[in-house]
Amino acid sequence: MKKRYLLFFSIMLLLLMMSGCSTNQQGKPSTNKKVELTVSAAASLQDALNDIKAAYEKAHPNVTINYNFGASGALQQQISQGAPVDLFFSAAEDKFAQLVQKGMIKKQQGTDLLGNELVLVVPKDTNKGIKDFVDLTKATKLSIGTPESVPAGKYAEETLAKLNIWNAVQSKVVYAKDVRQVLTYVETGNVDAGIVYKTDALISSKVKIIAAAKDNTHTPIIYPVGVIKDSAHVKDAQLFYDYLHNAKSMKTFEKYGFKGLNQQK
């Protein structure tokens, strides 16, 4: 009887140990197998995120980060329609909130991570006499992002409306697919001025910042980031999400002109 009891006890102990090992394995991210993460991110994040990608992949050689940069509105629509994405890094709260409302991003897996500024830029060698937003009436052509899909374009329209010059310049506006295209239009002299994020203006040697929009002229510029609930690599996506919050990544963002918010949603 005693032997049978000991045998039963040994079997149960072995089963418990196996169960524990299985649970631990399920709770860990992929460590050996190759994983590719797709991150849909606002175009204005391109330079900072590429630096972070290099550092992350060096520390996690089994993981490859693939970025899909574009206008936040277009990216949000792609995700809503089922595009296979692991993380969304938006340049606008409303685009991000739509995915939260649809249950595609859990609230606890999203953070308002960064802030930015809206600035007016002109070609470096311009002589149009544009020195502030109110001088845009002197411009022949002005570029902003398409407001419906590009958050920077929406903020630009709000600012110009607040300054009571939108009606005067609306017919001169050349719309762009994202802030990088606005910047290109200004750099090449195809337009006399453009409204972009400060972070984009800082990376160009061909434009100069002549004015910054006051905070009370537009909706707060906030960049939320979150893990897509149906990600095929949730644990690995969560690891990269956490990495974006660490001190090293925040220093990289700040190097490119972003402001750290790091407020848990």
| Mean pLDDT of all residues in 217-239 | 95
pLDDT interval class at 109 (50, 70, 90): confident
Q: What percent of the chain has pLDDT over 70?
A: 86
| Mean pLDDT of all residues in 65-73 | 95
pLDDT in tens, 77-91: 999 999 999 999 999
φ, ψ of residue 120 in degrees (nearest 5):
-100, 125
Q: Do domains 35-115+221-264 and 118-217 have the same CATH topology?
A: yes
User: Could you please report the per-residue DSSP string of 191-244?
Assistant: SSEEEEEHHHHHT-SSEEEEEE--GGGS---EEEEEEETT-TTHHHHHHHHHHH
The CATH class for the domain spanning 118-217 reads: alpha beta
Residue 108 is predicted with a pLDDT of 81
Residue 22 is predicted with a pLDDT of 40
| Mean pLDDT of all residues in 166-192 | 96
Residue 28 is predicted with a pLDDT of 47
Strand partners, 226: 88, 110
Averaged pLDDT score across all residues of the chain: 89
| Mean pLDDT of all residues in 202-207 | 94
pLDDT interval class at 178 (50, 70, 90): very high
Residue 127 is predicted with a pLDDT of 85
Distance, in Å, from the CA atom of 151 to the CA atom of 28, rounded to the nearest integer, reads: 36
Tell me whether residue 230 is exposed, middle or buried, using C-beta atoms within 10 angstroms of its C-beta: 0 to 12, 13 to 18, 19 or more.
middle
- Whether the predicted pLDDT of 25 surpasses 50: no
- Whether the predicted pLDDT of 19 surpasses 50: no
pLDDT interval class at 29 (50, 70, 90): low
- Whether the predicted pLDDT of 11 surpasses 90: no
Distance, in Å, from the CA atom of 100 to the CA atom of 94, rounded to the nearest integer, reads: 10
pLDDT in tens, 119-174: 999 999 888 899 999 999 999 999 999 999 999 999 999 999 999 999 999 999 99
Locus of tokens 């470096």: 124
Distance, in Å, from the CA atom of 37 to the CA atom of 47, rounded to the nearest integer, reads: 18
pLDDT interval class at 214 (50, 70, 90): very high
Residue 4 is predicted with a pLDDT of 52
Centre a 10 Å sphere on the Cβ of residue 36 and count the other Cβ atoms it contains: 13
Domain ranges of the chain: 35-115+221-264, 118-217
Top pLDDT among 116 and 9 is at 116
Token couple for 27: 């709770």
Q: What is the CA radius of gyration of the chain?
A: 24
pTM here? 0.79
Distance, in Å, from the CA atom of 94 to the CA atom of 76, rounded to the nearest integer, reads: 10
Residue 1 is predicted with a pLDDT of 52
- Whether the predicted pLDDT of 250 surpasses 80: yes
Tell me the CATH number for domain 35-115+221-264. 3.40.190.10
